Amino acid sequence: MLREFELDLPGDLQETLTRLPGGTPLAGGTNLLVDLRARREEAKRLVWLGNIEAFRDIKIDKAHVAIGGGTTVGDILRNSAMIDAAPSLVGAARVFGGQMVRNQATVAGNVCSGSPAADTVPPLLSLDAEICLASSTGVRSVPIDSFYSGFKKNQRKQDELITGLSWSVPGPSTANLFYKLARRKGDAITVVGVAVTVTRDGDRCSDARIALGAVAPTVFRAKDAEAMLTDQPLTEELIDEAARAAMAQSNPIDDIRASADYRRHTVHMLTRRLIGQAWRSLAGKEADK
């Protein structure tokens, strides 16, 4: 039984922003409603975001992607341009809950929930996405890399709303991959999530981003590992070394889904696999040039 809530149903963005102070934004509700029912979350007044016009718009041009704050995980899958604009995010969307959850859950909500196991977050970190936050007093943009400050803590102020996310389309010399390790195939909480972006310039890796999920209080970038790869030719040895560095930066917990040791080990294995896979896929493209 739900407690007595007030459900606010503002008609547009401006009205939504004026209602946010003291309220909790409600988008797909696939986390929030469950947590409220289980009394893990408290909320007095929920502000529904579903009436905001064009809130689910997706804009993709040659270089840039922008999705509205109401974009659902299902919307990501239904947009055929997204497979090139955010391969890792599409990969995450495919293994995100069941289709009935994907149809409700929003990307911004997943980002905002701050769970270290949130599946869209490693891809967005690997894409170096920007988060657009709005309140009735103004608009600001925060790189997702600096958005999280601790377990389920982030930079969003109570009266702010994520109105959109944006990132650059990976170029032809960039590979962007995601892998979710979970205890069953589909519709399961992530044990380890890894997203990588590798850009190749000739025989060298010019840029690498490695984002790790469910192995620390927040999803994070394994920057030690990234630094080891940057401006280097990627040998199997170097990839393994970097993957070990990613493992060293992980700080997972033991829980019912897996042991901490297992998570650390699989960070090593999956990072190695994904970087290797990305690098090899680009090697093919280099040869085609």
Partner 1 sequence: MTSVAGTPTITFTVNGNIESHVGDPFQRLATILRDEFGLIGTKIGCDAGDCGACTVLLDGRQVCACMIPLGQIDGTEIVTVEGLGSSDNLAALQRSFLHHGAAQCGICTPGMLIAATELLAKDAMPSKAMVEDALGGVLCRCTGYIKIVDAVVDAHQFLAPPVADSPTSETVGTPHPRVDGNAKVTGQDLFGADGAPSDALWLRPVRSPHARAVFKLGNLDAFCTAHPGLEAVLTAADVPGENSFGVYPDLKDQPVFADGAVRYRGEVVLALVGKRTAVEAIQFDALPIKWRVEDPVTGVTAATATEAPAVHISHPDNILVEGGLRKGNIDAGFTAAAAISEGQIQTAFVEHAYIEPEAGFAKRVGNRIEITACTQAPYMDLDECARVLGVGKDAVRIIPSACGGGFGGKLDVSLQPLLAIAAWRLQKPVRCIYTRVESMASSTKRHPATIQARAAADQEGKLLAIEMTADFNTGAYASWGPTVADRVPVHGSGPYFVPNVQIQTRSIYTNEPPAGAFRGFGVPQAAILQEQLYDDLALELGIDPFEFRYRNAIRAGLPTATGQKLEASVGLVKCLDALQPHWNKSRAEAARQNENHGGSRRRGVGIGCMWYGCGNTSMSNPSEIRISVSNSGRVTLFNGAVDIGQGSYTVILQICAEALGLPPSEFDLVHGDTDRTPDAGKTSASRQTFVTGKAAYLAGRDLRSQILRLANAGEDANIARHGSTLRVRDTGHETTIDLTDLPAIDEHGTVLTGKGRFDPPTTPLDENGQGNPYATFGFAAQIADLEVDMELGTVHLHRIIAAHDVGRAINPSLVEGQIHGGIAQGIGLALMEEYIPGRTENLHDYLIPTFGDIPEIDVLLIEDEEPLGPYGAKGIGEPALIPTPPAIFGAIRHATGVKVTRVPLLPHRLLEALKSHDA
Among positions 58, 169, 188, 248, the unique one binding partner 1 when judged by CB under 8 A: 188
Count of CB atoms situated within 10 Å of the CB of 48: 17
Number of residues that bind partner 1 (CB under 8 A): 52
Under the binding rule (CB under 8 A), the answer on residue 9 touching partner 1 is yes
Under the binding rule (CB under 8 A), the answer on residue 22 touching partner 1 is no
Of 7 and 283, which CB lies nearer to partner 1 in the complex structure?
Answer: 7
Under the binding rule (CB under 8 A), the answer on residue 185 touching partner 1 is yes
Of 15 and 207, which CB lies nearer to partner 1 in the complex structure?
Answer: 15
Give me 55's structure tokens: 């809130």
CA dihedral in degrees (25, 28, 32, 35; nearest 10)?
A: 170
Of 158 and 259, which CB lies nearer to partner 1 in the complex structure?
Answer: 259
- Assess contact for 175 and 251: CB atoms under 8 A: no
Nearest to 112 by CA among 152, 71, 85: 152
Q: Which residues pair with 161 in a beta bridge?
A: 134
Nearest to 124 by CA among 162, 82, 166, 181: 166
Touching partner 1, residues 77-136 (CB under 8 A): 94, 97-101, 103-104
Residue 202 beta carbon to partner 1: minimum distance, rounded to whole angstroms: 28
Secondary structure (H, E, C), 11-65:
CCHHHHHHHCCCCEEECCCCCHHHHHHCCCCCCCEEEECCCCCCCCCEEECCCEE
Residue 228 beta carbon to partner 1: minimum distance, rounded to whole angstroms: 20
Under the binding rule (CB under 8 A), the answer on residue 157 touching partner 1 is no
Touching partner 1, residues 227-286 (CB under 8 A): 256, 258-259, 261-262, 265-266, 269-270, 273
Measured distance CA(5)–CA(103) in Å, rounded? 24
Binding site for partner 1 (CB under 8 A): 1-2, 5-11, 15, 19, 26, 28-30, 33-34, 37-38, 45-46, 48, 50-51, 74, 94, 97-101, 103-104, 181, 183-189, 191, 256, 258-259, 261-262, 265-266, 269-270, 273
